[in-house]
Chain A
Amino acid sequence: MSTALFQIEEPVAQRPSRASGGAGIGIDLGTTHSLVALASHGAAPRTLADAEGRKLLPSVVSYANDLPTVGYEARAQQVSNPAQIISSVKRFMGRPAQEIDFVHPYKVASPRASGSGVIRFEVGRGREVTPIEVSAEILRVLKRQAEQELDRPIAGAVITVPAYFDDAQRQATKDAGRIAGLEVYRLLAEPTAAALAYGLDRGGEGIFAVYDLGGGTFDISILRLRAGVFQVLATGGDSALGGDDFDRALAAHLLVRAGVAHPTAFQHEEARMLARAAKETLSTSPSTSVTLTLSPLTDYEVSRSMLEHEIESIARRTLDPCRRALKDAGIRAAELDGVVLVGGSTRTPLIRRLVESTFRHEPLTDIDPDEVVALGAAIQADILSGSQRPGVTLLDVVPLSLGIETMGGIVETIISRNSPIPISARQVFTNYSEQQTGMVVHVVQGERELVKDCRSLARMELKGIPRLPPSMARVEVSFQLDADALLTVTARELMTGTKQSVEVKPTYGLTEDEVDALVMDSLDHAEDDFAARNLAEARVELDRVVLAVRSSLSEAGDDPELLTPDERASIETALIEADDAMARTATPTEDIIATSAPVGREANASFPQIQTNLQRIRERLEAVSEPFARRRMEQALRAGMSGKSVTEIEGSLDEGATLDERRGSHQPRLPSQ
């Protein structure tokens, strides 16, 4: 696919590139297998293979040896050592132990009294790992694969997640990325990634269905593309339905034919493996023969129609969610412009026929359904890592409502499902007595009215509320969902204006400190190296800001509306200071880390000191250029307005402010802590 497919040119003339310039990778972190893809500098995306030429990495991590192993090797040991070899870890991400309602062979450690409710698997030798760490192992392997291919370090990645993933699941995925040493540019919804890979934006406009049938899950999404924007209109699915069910159905049939009424686990396993192989063959040929060794069945002919007879009722179960998604999106099948197939199970001809008759469109199949998501992620990673690739803007929605617990365990919704993100909301809480100096805010996600029926995301403690008569303290809590649908919370006391400290304790995830500790661990180096890495990062950050400011300055030219001569002068001064600091600490990043020796002329200063200095310089540069950045933003807005006056835009933003107040004036009563 070439960039010519992207017809929408963005007005942003040039993006300052990140230090990694175009070395962002796309990762499909799947339940059964994972993939990495690359699309550097506008090139066509391609998936990367390992040394043996295999593109799919089984999402299986073995803790049977000293060092964890990932992939085929780990998968091969699974039968002999089920408790120490973790597969399908995606199903555990961001979920509490009590919600795991499927059978698995792992030993789950009892929750630590002090920690959150995150699941910990006991994998032997007293070792406990969380699903986040298991996922990080998979990501690390993919990252290394890409680094070998490119022969340089990978800075960042776009990782895909199912569209329905809630905050805890997304946060867990992002944390896994960080632990693997990746900057997660973006968590991208899998259906959106697939649509990107197909370059559905080539037509400019349209509504598309993405039908994703994997090994164990089914998802359907309806997307709309217009004016260079992908919008998710509706999503649905069934988290316990997939191609594995087809294998089981055919295996049951084989065992019946073999006359085995009560198969042993081994007989069952063999039948399942051969059923799977037969199913795959039948996707392209009309019939195949099966021979079991553990059960009496030799040269048994299976035709495609026999397979279809066995799996039809299962396959049809995907159709209800499809119809519901169409209804939620408010469109009829005939109004669709195309249907995209994702997931290996969509190779089954019956699925293709059912999809075609339900959506009244012949599905798009020219990209390998196993690779399509990773390919789309790579395109987005290329855009976000600062290449010149013109791209679409992805407007996503939050898949589940966000609320807080009020009196009586009732959920008060603060951001409703399918709201476009980023989005923020405010709530004002009050005190019930003069003695109260703290409050607990319980954040939940879900569509049900009672807290106990929703997913608990976090409990936050607001501290340091000034002693004021009952109902006089006004604590405004702001909830911000970013473009990844991840939540951050801030709070301030309105009467006195003091900022509150908010301590967020994720209910089923890792705290910031825990993630930081794991990131440290993963560096497997001494503290010095960590400091060196921090310093290198500080340099990269400063460099990035310098580039960004320079390119904005040149874009702005002599436009007096954007920049006064005085401002320009002070920005230039800050830039010179930054250049100077960069020059003084100039040593290739790798050398800094490798030698961990003091650098350049600042030989007497320690790494942390140099780092702090660089940070200070960067902050100063950001501060002096901030009003300028703000004006550029307004100009961008105005460009979108074509012909409207500035007053009108400001007026419209004021209305936004009024709206915040209205939401803020609403005061739910909180349960006392």
Chain B
Amino acid sequence: MLGLPRRHAIPRELIENRYLEFATAVHPDRFVGESLATRREAQEVSSRLNEGYRILRDPIARAEYMVKLAGIDLDSSDPTTGAPAPEPAFLVEMIERREALAEARASGSSRVDAFRAQVEDEVEGELDRAVAALEIDEPSRAARALVAHRYLQRLLQDVDGQEIGV
């Protein structure tokens, strides 16, 4: 996209610059006086460009999209082309982590903070792992890391989400 190589590790600066060049060239304001068809076209092309930019600038969306290009759709549960099912051991671990969170919560906010910090590190770790796998062209490994990433992200949301009520 944007004439950039299909890689995850692209400097943010480069994405931004390319996006701005393109967005300026096709923005509907540039075609104000022109025919309806041209204006509609400008709106369509701009929309697609903006949608692509939204994914490119978000490292997680970008990684998930690259995995999707390799034929693995993390939003689908199809056994062959969908998200890989996590290992049973991982699921058991997630249940235990939730219990640990409940315990941490019972014993005070500093324990919860420590818990959050640890999960945050792990979330980043999984993303790094996914990016590394994409760099050596192993999309299925990247997909597994991204599934774990989603689980951990949800756990992180629970840490913050439930705290509001406390």
A665 touches B54 (CB 8 A): no
Q: Quick check: is A640 within 8 A (CB to CB) of the other chain?
A: yes
Within 8 A of A (CB), among B35-61: 35-38, 41-55
Chain A residues near B21 (CB-CB < 8 A): 227, 640-641
**Cα A575 to Cα B80 with chains together (Å):** 56
Assuming the contacts A383-B29, A394-B29, A652-B2, asked whether A422 and B17 have C-beta atoms less than 8 A apart, the reply is: no
Q: Quick check: is A384 within 8 A (CB to CB) of the other chain?
A: yes
Q: Shortest CB–CB separation between residue A31 and chain B, in angstroms?
A: 27
B3 touches A422 (CB 8 A): no
A480 touches B17 (CB 8 A): no
How does the 8 Å CB contact mask read for B1-37 relative to A, with 1 for contact and 0 for none?
Answer: 1110000000000000100111111111110111111
**Cα A480 to Cα B69 with chains together (Å):** 25
Q: Quick check: is A629 within 8 A (CB to CB) of the other chain?
A: yes
By secondary structure, the B interface counts as: helix
Q: Shortest CB–CB separation between residue A625 and chain B, in angstroms?
A: 7
B33 touches A18 (CB 8 A): yes
B29 touches A228 (CB 8 A): no
Contact partner, B33, options A15, A652, A666, Cβ 8 Å: A15
Contact partner, A629, options B26, B34, B48, B73, Cβ 8 Å: B34
Q: Quick check: is A17 within 8 A (CB to CB) of the other chain?
A: yes
Within 8 A of B (CB), among A604-641: 621-623, 625-626, 629-630, 632-633, 636-637, 639-641
A544 touches B33 (CB 8 A): yes
- Count of chain A to chain B residue pairs whose CB atoms are closer than 8 Å in the complex: 149
Chain B residues near A639 (CB-CB < 8 A): 25
A652 touches B73 (CB 8 A): no
Assuming the contacts A548-B38, A662-B75, A665-B75, asked whether A637 and B52 have C-beta atoms less than 8 A apart, the reply is: no
Chain A residues near B53 (CB-CB < 8 A): 420
B26 touches A636 (CB 8 A): yes
B52 touches A652 (CB 8 A): yes
Q: Quick check: is B68 within 8 A (CB to CB) of the other chain?
A: yes
Q: Quick check: is A653 within 8 A (CB to CB) of the other chain?
A: yes
B28 touches A482 (CB 8 A): yes
Assuming the contacts A393-B24, A629-B34, asked whether A655 and B29 have C-beta atoms less than 8 A apart, the reply is: no
Chain A residues near B52 (CB-CB < 8 A): 652, 655-656, 659
Count residues of chain A with CB under 8 A from any CB of chain B. 64
How does the 8 Å CB contact mask read for A654-665 relative to B, with 1 for contact and 0 for none?
Answer: 011111101001
Count residues of chain B with CB under 8 A from any CB of chain A. 43
Q: Shortest CB–CB separation between residue B38 and chain A, in angstroms?
A: 4
Q: Quick check: is A483 within 8 A (CB to CB) of the other chain?
A: yes
How does the 8 Å CB contact mask read for A68-105 relative to B, with 1 for contact and 0 for none?
Answer: 00000000000000000000000000000000000000
Q: Quick check: is A538 within 8 A (CB to CB) of the other chain?
A: no
**Cα A649 to Cα B75 with chains together (Å):** 27
Chain B residues near A666 (CB-CB < 8 A): 75
**Cα A641 to Cα B28 with chains together (Å):** 18
Q: Quick check: is A10 within 8 A (CB to CB) of the other chain?
A: yes
Chain B residues near A395 (CB-CB < 8 A): 20, 23, 27
What 4 A-B pairs come out closest when comparing CB atoms?
A656-B48, A640-B25, A644-B3, A424-B47
Query: Hey, which bits of chain B sit against chain A, CB under 8 A?
Result: 1-3, 17, 20-30, 32-38, 41-55, 65, 68-69, 73, 75-76
Q: Can you give 14 contacting A-B residue pairs, CB < 8 Å?
A: A17-B33, A227-B24, A393-B30, A420-B53, A424-B47, A480-B43, A482-B28, A483-B29, A622-B36, A629-B34, A633-B26, A637-B22, A652-B1, A652-B52
